Chains A and B, each alone.
Chain A
Amino acid sequence: DTAVSQTPKYLVTQMGNDKSIKCEQNLGHDTMYWYKQDSKKFLKIMFSYNNKELIINETVPNRFSPKSPDKAHLNLHINSLELGDSAVYFCASSQHTGVQETQYFGPGTRLLVL
Chain B
Amino acid sequence: AQTVTQSQPEMSVQEAETVTLSCTYDTSESDYYLFWYKQPPSRQMILVIRQEAYKQQNATENRFSVNFQKAAKSFSLKISDSQLGDAAMYFCAYGSNSGGSNYKLTFGKGTLLTVNP
Contact = CB atoms under 8 A, between A and B. Distances in A.
> Is B one of A's binding partners?
yes
Interface of A: 40-45, 48, 55-56, 58, 88, 90, 92, 97-100, 102-103, 105, 107-108
Interface SS of chain A:
loop
A107 B41 CA distance: 11
B43 A108 contact: yes
Interface string B35-57: 00001001111110010100000
A32 to B, nearest CB: 13
Nearest to A104: B47
A45 B44 contact: no
Nearest to A43: B107
A42 B101 CA distance: 17
Contacts, number: 54
B105 A103 contact: yes
B89 A99 contact: no
A88 B43 contact: yes
A48 B103 contact: yes
Nearest to B104: A45
A100 B102 CA distance: 12
B103 A41 contact: no
A98 B110 CA distance: 23
B45 A99 contact: no
B44 A107 contact: yes
A100 B107 contact: no
Interface string B49-72: 010100000000000000000000
A108 B45 CA distance: 9
Given A55-B103, A99-B95, A99-B96, 11 more contacts: A41-B39, A42-B107, A42-B110, A45-B105, A56-B103, A58-B104, A99-B32, A99-B97, A105-B44, A108-B43, A108-B44
A99 B47 contact: no
B110 A48 contact: no
A98 B107 contact: no
B98 to A, nearest CB: 10
14 contacts: A41-B39, A42-B110, A56-B102, A58-B104, A97-B103, A98-B103, A99-B32, A99-B95, A99-B103, A99-B104, A99-B105, A100-B95, A107-B42, A107-B44
